Structure 1
């Protein structure tokens, strides 16, 4: 086999999927490196108690973020990738409907937050952190990542997010100096989504010549209906990852919450390395599955094999050196709980595996309802497992519950995909 010519290399790099993957990996590399710089600083400055209070507020805001983003990251992205990308009028209408829907959802989230704070007046510090961090929801409201992903212009997502994260990080190092700066840290943490959200809105309007047009309430409701099943599954997915912190905040002191939230960042950062693969793969898998379910499924499974081997090897190395990594990353007071890392890494691998069966295959082939059904059953198992295990074992239970829940979901998703494969083979045989 001869050497690869520069023309072939240039042609490979110019492929949209490769360019998008490079841009998204640049962003995820940035998003992985920045926490490696800020987390050791912040966890030490705020201590387990302060970081625990921040984590409880961030956890609550995370639920609101899922509500505001709704299911548009999949439903509207699929519409743009399949139809609206080549129809400017439809693209503009979709853009406007999504924006109006998110504004309405933001207002609803503000009302929920206000009620929560009114009924928890005794938790002054926690509610103040939450009120400050609600400002980040404004950024998520106008975020256009769904549009850029559907148009396969991942460079815009990368640029606006890198700018927002850079400004936020610089301000944190300059201004957060002691444990009393907890509220300030909450505000500066929220700067990143605010900057990236509004910058993305400006870029999207100029890049695609989009205007906010008048649309009917029925159009907005139709967009919400299209994303409903995806929204419920994404909310369930958020529960899978965040319910541990929520329940720990009820049963345990903030110090335990802070320790668990910090250690959970290790698999979370690794998941960030997986996210660009999922985002780039999704529109490609959607097209292939729409042409032929069998061929599209085979393509997704080939990618799955390589992804699990790569991340599995990385998880093994981290597990072997987990005590050293946790102590170095967050401080000696967090190191005593290092063993929580091992089941959380198992949760990561199970989550990546479920992404292929759930998002790439079921959502990619338009089976939103089946995917949502699996998650609704899975979320019930998640709630029960977290409540029981955390009540019995505290932080230890919080570390094992996500893995157990994800394995339940694995069985549900595999059953649905197997049914679709049988139906596909029967349909091809009849043809």
Structure 2
């Protein structure tokens, strides 16, 4: 715990939000890449066996601290000096707390799932839940990264009173995230039964079924990330965003008791899926008067059909062929080819979005 406490100090020096607000993502991405590579090299050099767990924690924590610290020199050059007596920090206290509550609520039910599994089933089931969740969230990071990029864009347009631009960006972002999350969801479901034993070993086979169920949250969180992070937060509707997270936490806690009791690990996964779906449904209900939900989902069927067309052959191969990393990679590549081909054939909106991005990059 002493070693982990370095992360608290590191968090105090984290000013990546400043660069996010200024839309200077290049600097933070380069910082993160450099620090992760440095951290990985240090792990390979200094970590020899399981007794080095404290040293491992120190390496990871120090890499976070140094990574955050590297953003300061440029910030100090860029910012103007102000008098301390001119600062009024406490006016931001209540808005900061309202932003803090959903973070706590979302962390609460993730931790509670593991704890309840440990108490009601056993510690092994709790570990399986954690490992499944780690892999799902790793994939999900690619989709939710759009929220980090879009939030300052939308906030800027809202500050200028350009609601038409806000909605246009939101519709495009929702379509783009859908185009990413459908294949991620069907892809993970298609290879999960093979991926878990290959990645963790055969002793961890139950993680495969858990991932198969939890893959649904990729789509749910992708959508709620667009509505919540890219719309409700930038347009200062924090209360509705917070309420949606609390609704998800309450649903999760209530469902955990019967579902874990009757179905153990898989029950906890279904509880997670339903709670994330409730967050998404609540947010969509909250914006029904502001956004055209029919327009929001108008082209989604194309990604759904493309995802199913990808899932069927990949899942069949996954259950009928011997498990190996080579075959797993080939199945992933096959899935990507099928999905992209289907999206191109059906002329899904994301095709035009990609073309526009390529044109802008050339200019």
2:112 to 232, 243, 246: 243
Alignment partner, residue 319 of structure 1 = 189
Alpha-carbon spacing, 1:266–1:213, altered in 2? closer, same or farther (3 Å): farther
Alignment partner, residue 206 of structure 2 = 336
| d(CA) in 2 for partners of 1:135, 1:157 | 20
Alignment partner, residue 151 of structure 2 = 282
CA contact (8 A) 1:240 1:405 kept: no
Alpha-carbon spacing, 1:257–1:293, altered in 2? closer, same or farther (3 Å): same
CA contact (8 A) 2:232 2:238 kept: yes
Task: After superposing the two structures, state which structure 1 stretch, 239-248 or 341-350, moved more.
Answer: 239-248
| d(CA) in 2 for partners of 1:345, 1:330 | 18
- 1:308 paired with 2:182, answer no
Residue pairs, 1:260-409, within 5 angstroms: 260-290=129-159, 291-409=161-279
| d(CA) in 2 for partners of 1:249, 1:186 | 24
CA contact (8 A) 1:240 1:406 kept: no
Residue pairs, 1:84-233, within 5 angstroms: 130-206=1-77, 208-209=78-79, 214-215=84-85, 219-233=88-102
Alignment partner, residue 72 of structure 1 = none
Count of aligned residue pairs for this structure pair: 291
TM-score, reference length from structure 2: 0.72
Question: Structure 2: 5+ residue runs without aligned partners?
Answer: 293-363
The CA deviation at 1:346 is 0.6
TM-score, reference length from structure 1: 0.62
| d(CA) in 2 for partners of 1:411, 1:163 | 39
The CA deviation at 1:161 is 1.9
| d(CA) in 2 for partners of 1:256, 1:188 | 29
User: 1:338-367 CA deviation, whole Å, 9 max, x = no partner?
Assistant: 111122211121001011111212112111
Alpha-carbon spacing, 1:392–1:191, altered in 2? closer, same or farther (3 Å): farther
| d(CA) in 1 for partners of 2:120, 2:5 | 24
Alpha-carbon spacing, 1:213–1:174, altered in 2? closer, same or farther (3 Å): farther
CA contact (8 A) 1:260 1:395 kept: yes
| d(CA) in 1 for partners of 2:181, 2:42 | 33
Question: Structure 1: 5+ residue runs without aligned partners?
Answer: 1-129, 423-431
